[in-house]
Each structure stands twice: as structure tokens, then as C-alpha cells.
Chains A and B, each alone.
Chain A
Amino acid sequence: MTTLSDLAQPRQDYSYGFMDAYAKRELRRRILKAIAIPGYQVPYASRELPIARGWGTGGLQVTLSLVGPESVVKVIDQGADDSVNAANLRRFITRMSGAETTTDTLKATILQSRHRIPEEVMQEGQALVLQVPDPEPLRGVTADMSKAHQLHADSDYGQMWLLLYEQLVRYRQYIQGASYPSLVNGLYIISPSPIPRWDTPKLHQAAHLTLLSAGREKRLYAVPPYTDVYPLEFSDVPFQVEDQQGWVCKTTGVQNKFMNELPQEDGTSQYELSDSGYAEKLVKNEAVGATYYDDQGDFYYDGYLKPPVQPSL
């Protein structure tokens, strides 16, 4: 007798990690080239995903090509594990891979992030995947992408220096907030994705691997571990991170970590830690790892950040 199961199509699951084998191989080839040439923007195919481009598909594709059943994944959006974007990406990744998820930076093997690097120092063997909306740091000085490509090839960054100089002339400080252009391995300028200036120094000589991927723009680039990353700065006017002196987290009472400002009805502001995973550990009184900035606000890499200088014009 013919049964219903005889007539049914054999079960077809999604490919492991959603992406098919071709997509994964291509992306993996490109990731290896990106690591070999720190800071160089490698083009890749950027496949369709069930999430719209511009919502983290670049980072998602990289994560899906790395993830496995034993992986531990953390996804953050502006520091928060619980925002809608982060929660949806995390749920998709774990559904497609069976990977464990965490909010603890130190437990994660893959950390996908939109616009923040956590406060706790990341370790060797961890992969930080940054979602990048605009990979081209030269877009502000040239609208023509093929010209920008040529400028990178020639290391012709004169216009970037001019841009910084004009900021100093007009405002007596560098005014770029996030995506601060940075020189990787002494050759290519990258946009470190819209992480605040506070996070940019964390890429310098880091123990972990950073992969930056722009799904909409179809380009990815990497900062390998232990690689020099310097924000663009004139030698007499050093780069500064955000000045948040005196900002105290309303929940944990800590200072000198990156804060969200919460405007109050009476016109004042309250502050809370941007890194929600770190805040959660503090609230629960759990052991926290070493942080990039200590309680006095000093960066862990001695001498990297210099005291502020107000340029005289």
C-alpha cells in the first residue's frame, strides 16, 4: 500500500548556518584575503538573507560562516544585548546553527556587534564581527568609489588630512564622533564602523581578531590580532576619546566607562552603562574581567592616548 510518506517529498532542511556551501566558500575565501591584507576592503558577493540589507547582514554573513554547534555567540547593538535588532540576529544565528548564546563578553567565541566594542578586554581566539553601514572612509572627500579605490591604492590620504585640518581651524578640535578614520598597519585607512571614538583605540594591538563586514556595500575588511591601528591625528593635536568625566551610571555607580545619556524631564541628564552585558555582571556582583579603561579612565595600553591639546591658531 502506498503511504503518505512515500508520496511526500524528502525533507529539505536549510543548509547549516542558512547560507549554502557556495556562499560560505566564497565568503571564507574573502575573509582569508581580508586577514592577509589588514585594512584592505575586499569585495564579496553578499547573499540575500531573511533580514533586510542595512540591518546587519554583513556581520551576519560573517558570523554564519564561522559559527558551529560548539560556538558561543554574543550579539550586541549599541552595547545592548536586548535591543530588537540584536535579539533577532541572535535568535536567527542560534536557530540556524544550534550555537549557544551569551551576554558575557568573556564567554563568547564570536561576538557580533553593531557600533560598540565591549568594555571588558577581549582575548586571543575570540572573533569580533562588526556590522558596517559604510565601509568607505573616503566617502566624505570623494563621492566616486572607483576614485576612492585608486586613492587607497596610492595611499593618497591628503584629502583626509585636509578634512581634519579644516575641523581644527573651524572648531579647534576633531569633530568626527563615530567611525573615526584610522590607519591600519601603517598603510590603509579604514572606517572602524560607527563605534564611538571611545572604542577605536581598542582595535590597536588587540589580542582578538576583528572582522568588519558591510552587507549592503558588499565589502569586508579585517584588523588581525596584534596589528597597529592609529586614529588619524596631527602630531601636535592628539586624538581624544569622548569626555565623559563625572558621568556616573545610575544603576551600577561606575564611572569612566562608555555611557548612554538619558535626558530627564527637568532638563538634566542621567547616565547608564552602554555595555549592558558588563552592567548585568556588575549588578549581579559577578566577577568581571579586566577592562580597556580602568576606574580612573586610563586606557590599558600605556601612552596610546595622550593628554588633550587645544590648538592655537
Chain B
Amino acid sequence: MTVPPYTPAESRTRDTFLALMWALSYPGRIYQLPDAETNFALIAETLLDLETSYYTPDSHLESALAQTGAKALSTGRAAYHFYTSLGESELGDIREASIGTMLYPDDGATLLIGCKLGSGMQMALLGPGINGQQALQIDNIPEIFWEIRETVCRFPLGWDVYFVDGENVVGLPRGVRVERR
């Protein structure tokens, strides 16, 4: 029997998933998505279908997300939030994002946030997935975002974040503590 074909779509979504999986397993380390241009669309293609939901304030991204068949829902109900950048109104959206419940913490949202990695604020990450401490340098994320996260993410409640910069992606699960320098 021949091996089923490893199609380009299969390869694309698998590589994207592996980047997301390892990024979440080793928070703060940078992993590569298969393409820098279409990064958010790739993540959408990998994770979204008609069984789940999304929210994005970005009109350019909207059509790519809608094509997956996923439902466009309000900030409080959407499972996946896509923000190409964070401004005042996006921070308001993030405040409303689902953090799950003690019975179903997996209902907490996943946030995908565009940013600049490797410059800007220095941080140390501690917690599960991290051997001692992990340094992370990140820019274009307002200070207030970290304050919201500290208030909202009380393990096991909270949201899980992916920071996306071109092809680079960094995971920040809810259980990781962030010390800003």
C-alpha cells in the first residue's frame, strides 16, 4: 500500500500546528511558522473550522477567517481572537475575552496577537514549560496588556496567548508568570 499523499495543505497546517504546540510547550522560545506573510491566515487554516469561533477587529483578516467556516462571535464568546496589533479598543476587547470556568477552564479563549519580538520590553517567564527562567523581549504590546493579564489569568482560568511577528511565534499559556524588568 502506498502512503497517502502529503499534500501542501497538509504540510502547511501540520508545520503551523507543530510551531504552535512547541511554542506553548516551551513558553518564551521562538518557533517558526511556515510563512511570514500569511501568518494569521495560516493559524486560522490550522485551527478553525465550523465547530469553533473567532473574533477579529481587523477587517483585512476577517475574510480569511470567515473562509474557514468558523462562526464570527462577540469578544466574550469567541474561542479564537486575532489581533494584528494592539490599540486602545483591542485592549477593551481582550478585557472581555473568555477565561473559562473552574469546571471548564478549556473554554478560556486563545489570543493571537501581532507584535515585534526581540526588541522592547524585557521580561522573565517562570512556570510550567520553563526550565528555571526564560527571557523574552517584546515590543508593540502596551503596558496595560500585562496588567490585564495579571488581573484576569488566575490559573486554571485565563487565556492563552500567541505572539506573532512575521513567521516567528511565541506561546504564553495562562499558567506562566511574567516578571517585567
Interface residues of A (CB under 8 A from B): 13-18, 21-22, 24-26, 28-38, 40, 42, 65-66, 68-69, 95-98, 124-125, 149-150, 153-154, 185, 187-188, 205, 207, 209, 224-228
Contact = CB atoms under 8 A, between A and B. Distances in A.
Contact of B22 (A28, A37, A125, A188): A125
A162 to B, nearest CB: 23
B100 to A, nearest CB: 8
Contacts of B36: none
Given A28-B17, A32-B110, A149-B103, A224 B47 contact: no
Contacts of B7: 16
B16 to A, nearest CB: 9
A16 B6 contact: yes
Given A26-B51, A35-B173, A42 B128 contact: no
6 contacts: A15-B10, A21-B49, A28-B47, A98-B3, A224-B25, A226-B130
Q: Lowest 6 CB-CB distances: which A-B pairs, in order?
A: A98-B3, A36-B173, A227-B128, A153-B102, A33-B106, A36-B160
A293 to B, nearest CB: 21
B175 A185 contact: yes
Interface string B29-54: 00000000000000000111101100
A235 B6 CA distance: 52
B4 to A, nearest CB: 4
Contacts, number: 119
Contact of B21 (A18, A35, A124): A35
A37 B156 contact: yes
A181 B140 CA distance: 43
Nearest to A27: B17
A168 to B, nearest CB: 30
Contacts of B52: 29
Contacts of A17: 4, 10
B144 interface: no
Contacts of A21: 9, 13, 49
Majority SS of interface residues in chain A?
mixed
A24 B18 CA distance: 12
Contacts of A224: 24-25, 128-129, 173
B156 A187 contact: yes
Interface string B152-176: 0001100010000000000001110
A32 to B, nearest CB: 6
Most chain A CB within a 10 A radius of its CB, from B17, B49, B128, B175: B128
A225 B102 CA distance: 24
Contacts of B18: 66
Given A153-B101, A224-B173, 8 more contacts: A22-B49, A25-B46, A28-B21, A66-B18, A95-B3, A185-B155, A209-B21, A224-B24
B109 to A, nearest CB: 11
B46 A28 contact: yes
Given A28-B47, A66-B18, A150-B103, A36 B24 contact: yes
A16 B10 contact: yes
B23 to A, nearest CB: 10
A206 to B, nearest CB: 10
Most chain A CB within a 10 A radius of its CB, from B1, B6, B21, B25: B25
B94 interface: no
Given A13-B2, A16-B7, A124-B26, A225 B103 contact: no
Interface in B124-154: 128-131
A31 B3 CA distance: 25
A98 B47 contact: no
B11 A37 contact: no
A224 B26 CA distance: 8
A94 B95 CA distance: 46
A26 B13 CA distance: 13
Contact of A69 (B6, B110, B160): B6
A147 to B, nearest CB: 12
B131 A40 contact: no
A65 B130 CA distance: 24
Contacts of A31: 21
A40 B156 contact: yes
Contact of A225 (B2, B6, B20, B25): B25
B180 interface: no
Given A22-B49, A33-B106, A150-B103, A225 B129 contact: yes
B46 to A, nearest CB: 7
A31 B14 CA distance: 13
Contacts of A96: 3-4
